[in-house]
Each structure stands twice: as C-alpha cells, then as structure tokens.
Amino acid sequence: MPPSKNNSIRVCIVGAGLAGAATAYHLSEFPGYAITLLDKERLPGTHSSGRNAAMIRQVVQPAAIAQVALESRVFIESTAGASADFRFDAHGSLLLGSKDELSALTADLSAQGALSDDVRMLNKEELHLEFDPLAGSTHEAALFTPSDGVVDVAGLLEYYIREARNRGVTLSLARTVIDIVREGRRIAGVQTNSGYEPFDYVINAAGPWAGRLGAMAGTTKIPWRPLRRHLFFTGPLKSIDPSLPFIWDIENHWYLRPESGGLLLCACDESEVEPGEPDLDPSVTQLLTEKLTRHVPELGDLPIAKMWSGIRTFAPDRNFVIGWDHEVEGFFWVAGLGGHGVTCSWGVGACAARILRDRANFGDRNFSPSRFYNDCD
C-alpha cells in the first residue's frame, strides 16, 4: 500500500473536465481517500468538455465502449428525470449508412451484448417518410435509437463536481501542474504554479495534455493524438423541428442536430494539433457545404452564424485508456475519451474508481494501459 496521511490515500486528479470530474464523483463514494481535483483553468470544463456536440450516442464501436455508453445513458436518463440538475432531451438518433454497414454494426454489438434494445433499422421509405430533412437524401437505410439524445453538458459536469465536493473532494482551480515528483519509481507529489504538494496517486485526466502529463511523470509509451474538429451553428432557422433526432451519416462522415432554433452541424474533420486552444480552419466550412450538398441537398445552402473547434484525444487504437501505469507506481490514466467522453463519462469514472480501489489489477481488460507495454501482459 502507498504511504498515507491521517489514514487517507492522497489522490490528485489532474483535469476538471468530464473524465476527472466523473472519476472524483465515483472515487469519493469510497472511504479512505483525500481527493484533490485540480485544473489549470478558472472554470471546470474549459477545453474538450466545453466545446462538444453534447450528444449521447449508444451505437458506437468498439463494443467495450458501447457497453460503457449503455450504462452511462441509463444513469443520465434516470438522474435527469429524477432531478432538475441537468437536462436530457431523449429525441433519439438516426445513423445513416449502407444497409450492409449498419447490419454489420448491429450484429457485432449484439453478439457482444452491447446493443441498446430499442435500436431498429429503417428502410429508405420509412426514413424519407418519418424525417422531413432526409426526404431527398440518397441513403438506403438508417438505425434509429430512440433513447439517444442531447444532454446539458455544463449541468452534468456541475453535478459530478457538486456531488464530489459534498463528499469531501477539494476543487482547486487556476492551478497548473508543472512537474510530477517521484521517489524512485513511485509518485511522491506534484509541483504546481503555487508550490509543491505530496500525493500518493496522481490521476491523469488531462484530456489533450495527457501525453504531456505522462512525460512529466516519466512515462511516454502511449503516442497520443489530439485531433481538432470543428462545429458550426446556423443561428435560428424557420423550419427546424426541435424534437428532431440527431442525424449522423457514418458512411460519409457528417452530423447535425437541432440547436437553439437552428442546427448544429459537423463535417467530422480531423487534423492533428498541439494541446491548447485550437484555431479555426475556414476551409472546413467548404467541406461541410460539399458534404451536405451531396448527401442532403435541401440542407446544402445553410447560413453559418458561428463556428468553433475543439480537441478529441485518441490512443492509437482509439480505445479508452483507464488504469495504472506500468512504469510509474501510483500514476493512473483516465484518458483517450476521443469522441465519446460526454456519452461515457459516468461509466468511465465508475470503471476508474473500481480499478483504483483494486491495486492488484492494472485495469479493465479492454481499456488497460498494459496494451502499450510489450513487456507486460
């Protein structure tokens, strides 16, 4: 066991985005931890967790992530329904694609027990009949998942943090970790812009900065990829039904959903960037127009009132990384949430808290950092 103070294990969670906040929420349910949730910004959720499309999508791959999405959606739906803490609009989702691709996707998830039981396949006629904006589209099939939806991300994040603080977690903002101090192979503490503090565990929930934090601790085996993606908002439009499901074309890579009387749109662009405040690439607007014109002609000529970008951070296999580091004792990863961090945050935090309590295990089989260490099983 690590050294302890006042019988508590001192835990520093670096990053008050969805990954760090959900981990603090779950870990604080267990006795014996003195937890500090720390972020360099003045507000939690300033980066990826504050710049996303807020969609809860359960039909995703790989199946291990779909499983986490399913359990997280149940939490979001029941908590939003039982309290006024945050809103969840379960207007459903439509995944557009070829019949073969969609059938293969549902067969894979179903075989692994990771398919939401309300998912159904719509053929071209049903699709065109039920969903006006798709009347002229070229798609031959869609998967309809009525229990998907859009969540109030700021409210969800605030909920995790408030519950964690009620259970004794210290929230420390405007505090940057500039170094991680070790004694031999073991974590000893963190050096921040406001001084040194000893800790037994450091949890890396630093999103796009996960690689930099790993390097501070002396562990660099995971080649992280922070990928920028743009979102667009049309401003209010006349004929948008606010209860329309979100629509995601997984064949041609674009999505849209109702937002504040207009549409939120994405061309599913990806470009590798440095962690930080991502800049804007105006050429992505053209890419979006081209995709919409080709695949949903009625929507090809929309006004754009606002655009912004954010970073999705991936491990090379695009799977989550949740578990103990193999090289540095007491260093723990909750990173690589990619494009699923809103949907899956609850389950990611639960998984992390389980592994943290169980020192003997490096991590969940699917998400373990051990897959990046050839010399470990």
Q: Compare residues 310 and 347 and give the one whose CB is closer to ligand FAD.
A: 310
Residue closest to 197 by CA, chosen among 178, 184, 215, 220: 178
Q: Report the 10 Å Cβ neighbour count for 162.
A: 15
Show the binding pattern over residues 302-341: x = contacts ligand FAD (CB under 6 A), - = does not. --------xxx------------------------xxxxx
**67 part of the interface to ligand FAD, by CB under 6 A:** no
Taking the complex as a whole, the smallest distance from the CB of residue 94 to ligand FAD amounts, in Å, to 14
Q: Does 51 bind ligand FAD (CB under 6 A)?
A: yes
Q: Spell 298-327 as b/e; 16+ CB within 10 A means b.
A: ebeebeeeebebbbbbbbeeebbbbbbbbe
Residue 73 as a binder of ligand FAD (CB under 6 A): the answer is no
How many positions of this chain bind ligand FAD (CB under 6 A)? Answer: 41
Is residue 177 a contact residue for ligand FAD (CB under 6 A)? yes
Q: Rg of the chain's alpha carbons, rounded to an integer? A: 21
CB of 377 to ligand FAD, least distance (A): 27
Interacting residues with ligand FAD between 12 and 41 (CB under 6 A) = 14-20, 38-41
In the complex, minimum distance from the CB of residue 262 to ligand FAD, in angstroms, rounded to a whole number = 17
User: Which of 156, 164, 206, 268 lies at the binding interface for ligand FAD (CB under 6 A)?
Assistant: 206
Q: Taking CB under 6 A as the rule, which mask of x and - marks residues 268-307 in contact with ligand FAD? A: ----------------------------------------
Positions touching ligand FAD (CB under 6 A) are 14-20, 38-41, 45-49, 51-55, 176-177, 205-209, 213, 229, 231, 310-312, 337-343
